[in-house]
């Protein structure tokens, strides 16, 4: 009879560990979703609203589905800090918006993703260290 109790206890413990791990993935995905949304520079809110999360079981995913997210993260023109730096063919450049011409040298980076992922990594490590 003692062997049956051990088997039952181990199965219960196994279920508890699985639930604990799934909860860790879910809460990590929540942090990975909320941190960049909290940090992102907001003009219209389109890029912030383009951050999405999914999680199921042991898988969590957060994406920024915005064409300008990379420019916010790394900057543009002479201020570009991302991979390869600036590839602008002409600096400064002029563009037309709302009936007016504007000249720019680029936009300073406003990192939101990588600083957030540093926090997410720390949260994940702390959670799963116990």
Same domain, 61 and 99: no
Answer yes or no: is pLDDT of 1 > 70.
Answer: no
- Predicted local distance difference test score (pLDDT) of residue 113: 96
Segment 15-67, tens digit of pLDDT: 888 999 999 999 999 999 999 999 999 888 999 999 999 998 899 999 999 99
Same domain, 23 and 60: yes
Same domain, 15 and 58: yes
Same domain, 24 and 52: yes
Split into its structural domains, the chain has a count of 2
Same domain, 40 and 95: no
Answer yes or no: is pLDDT of 108 > 80.
Answer: yes
DSSP state string for 98-126: TTEEEEES-------HHHHHHHHHHHHHH
Same domain, 103 and 65: no
Same domain, 93 and 120: no
Query: Helices marked H in 40-68 — which ranges?
Result: 46-49
d(CA 83, CA 108): 15
Provide the whole-model pTM. 0.80
Same domain, 47 and 84: no
- Report the mean per-residue pLDDT for the chain: 89
Q: Which domain holds residue 40?
A: 2-69+112-129
d(CA 124, CA 13): 22
Same domain, 23 and 53: yes
Could you tell me which residue, 51 or 2, shows the higher pLDDT? 51
d(CA 126, CA 42): 30
- Predicted local distance difference test score (pLDDT) of residue 68: 92
Same domain, 38 and 49: yes
Three-state secondary-structure class, residue 91:
coil
Same domain, 43 and 89: no
Whether residue 95 contacts residue 62, with contact meaning beta carbons closer than 8 Å, is answered with no
Answer yes or no: is pLDDT of 9 > 90.
Answer: no
> How far apart are the two ends of the chain, measured CA to CA in Å?
32
Same domain, 64 and 85: no
CA distances to 11, 35, 92 from 61, in Å: 29, 14, 38
CA distances to 35, 52, 59, 60, 67 from 29, in Å: 10, 10, 9, 6, 22
């Amino acid at each position: 009879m003692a062997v049956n109790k051990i088997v039952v206890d181990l199965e219960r413990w196994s279920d508890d560990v699985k639930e604990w791990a799934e909860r860790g993935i879910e809460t990590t995905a929540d942090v990975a979703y909320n941190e960049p949304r909290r940090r992102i520079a907001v003009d219209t809110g389109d890029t912030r609203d383009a951050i999405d999360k999914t999680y199921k079981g042991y898988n969590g995913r957060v994406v920024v589905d915005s064409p300008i997210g990379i420019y916010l993260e790394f900057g543009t023109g002479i201020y570009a800090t991302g991979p390869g730096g600036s590839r602008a063919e002409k600096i400064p450049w002029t563009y037309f918006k709302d009936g007016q011409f504007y000249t720019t040298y680029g936009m300073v980076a406003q990192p939101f993703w990588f600083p957030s992922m540093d926090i997410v990594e720390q949260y994940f490590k702390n959670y799963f260290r116990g």
